[in-house]
Structure 1
């Protein structure tokens, strides 16, 4: 007797198709020999060659990677400091304000954040004469600003669950508070730090609204470049670039899954 199809299974496969069929279509059309993305004219890899020969698009890729790397580093460092202050120091004057300032970028529209940062940079230029122009540096500050909020949420949630007895034992053995934090706390919360870094990196690499407010001439990031080119029609080079990004992300995810599974097996062997 055949078992009835469960509603949850149907919705699961519907959700998977809804998420991944557009990506599959994009990957297929990146090998289309026609310049028109809606007309299939045979298999070809020429658009990948055109992609790497497009100096403007490749320069935008490296700019976005550079900004995302440094903004993620800054966001994690500031997120660690904010998380320690919110979870380890108890009640102090200004704690509620700090918590509100950290949480504000999470719920505030990107347009408001971008406009606020633009007005801040303009005011600083008028009063201090710095920054003299908007570019990668101002984009880095903007991305680090909202990236810190997300990093703080991830790191503080892990610090709240951390058993303080480990740190207290290290301090009882003579370790200074800073040394105990570096040698005991940081290794334990390292998965949260990695997660926060990846989240901040992805948000920076994906941002187009805030970057469009605080960027200047010669500081066009990849999302802005793609958004500008899409207005004139989707180029097959964009499909090729998106396919490479999907491939890289899939490989990184697969390697991370394999490493975590290997670590889990090793821990089970040690316990047994």
Structure 2
């Protein structure tokens, strides 16, 4: 690589990661002032572990992020498969636009529209009454009666599934369908082909979509602000409210833990994906080799 390219790459990486490295270093600061180094200390991690409100907010954020990413992968995979494999059916453009709309629309508009939807559901189900009649009405009031974890989960899933659908659609368009055609020629049912052939081949796109959805949900503030209620404060909301009183090393400690957890998760997932891909490549080479010898 030429020296100029190395220099520009180094400057780019420094611009991206120097603030993160500084945040990690100052999380071990003895002083309460985040810009003044007062010596090495772990006391802010101890303060963090004793903060019940923050731990509850972080736990809620990770729980919602996990559930949102998991459901977004399921719904996004279905939407991406329909867009990539069902051809130009009637309403294709409308379906594609509705699928990707949350990705391109401002989150303020999405959050406001979903807030109005949940308010209308509360009114239509009669959740303001003392007792709701009917099983469906009671279940609806349990889910939408008060804004909280369920409403945030639905909002984050709506946002994240658009990204998963785009990833899955692009991966399916690049996929060589000869493997699927060969399996069906041998009598394999289309549903079995999807789960045995298609899903493993596009597994990298699914894992990437899950990780992206997890990060988006964990980091989201605008949509959560519209869909949360009393007792459902997430970690971004807690951080934004705390910054108004001044930045403390406790927030640096929290950010450091999140960075470490996400980094370890991404590295492990990447290693597993590479190992699975190498195993599939070896299996395909062995199959082609045995087929050539047989011929």
Same fold by TM-score greater than 0.5: yes
Alignment of 1:143-158 (within 5 A): 143-158=156-171
Residues in 1 aligned to 2:248 and 2:214: alpha-carbon distance in whole angstroms: 26
SS in structure 1 opposite 2:79?
helix
Q: State yes or no: 1:8 paired with 2:5.
A: yes
SS in structure 1 opposite 2:163?
helix
Residue number among 198, 202, 213 corresponding to 1:189 in the alignment: 202
Q: Which residue of 2 aligns with 1:76?
A: 73
Residues in 2 aligned to 1:269 and 1:146: alpha-carbon distance in whole angstroms: 37
* CA 85–209 in structure 1, closer or farther in 2 if over 3 Å, else same: same
Q: State yes or no: 1:221 paired with 2:234.
A: yes
**Which consecutive residues of structure 1, in runs of 5 or more, have no partner in the other structure?**
none
Q: Deviations over 1:45-95 (max 9, x none)?
A: 011111111111011111011101111111111111111211111121111
Q: Which residue of 2 aligns with 1:112?
A: 109
The answer to whether the Cα contact below 8 Å between 2:211 and 2:266 also exists between their aligned partners in 1 is: no
**Which consecutive residues of structure 2, in runs of 5 or more, have no partner in the other structure?**
127-140, 287-295
Q: State yes or no: 1:166 paired with 2:179.
A: yes
Greater displacement, 29-38 / 149-158: 29-38
Alignment of 1:4-83 (within 5 A): 6-83=3-80
Deviation of 1:266 after TM superposition, in Å, equals: 6.3
Greater displacement, 103-112 / 124-133: 124-133
Deviation of 1:264 after TM superposition, in Å, equals: 6.8
* CA 33–203 in structure 1, closer or farther in 2 if over 3 Å, else same: same
**Aligned pairs, number:** 268
Q: Which residue of 2 aligns with 1:95?
A: 92
- Alignment root-mean-square deviation, CA: 2.0
Deviation of 1:106 after TM superposition, in Å, equals: 1.6
Length-normalised TM-score, structure 2: 0.85
Residues in 2 aligned to 1:46 and 1:175: alpha-carbon distance in whole angstroms: 60
Deviation of 1:165 after TM superposition, in Å, equals: 2.0
Length-normalised TM-score, structure 1: 0.92
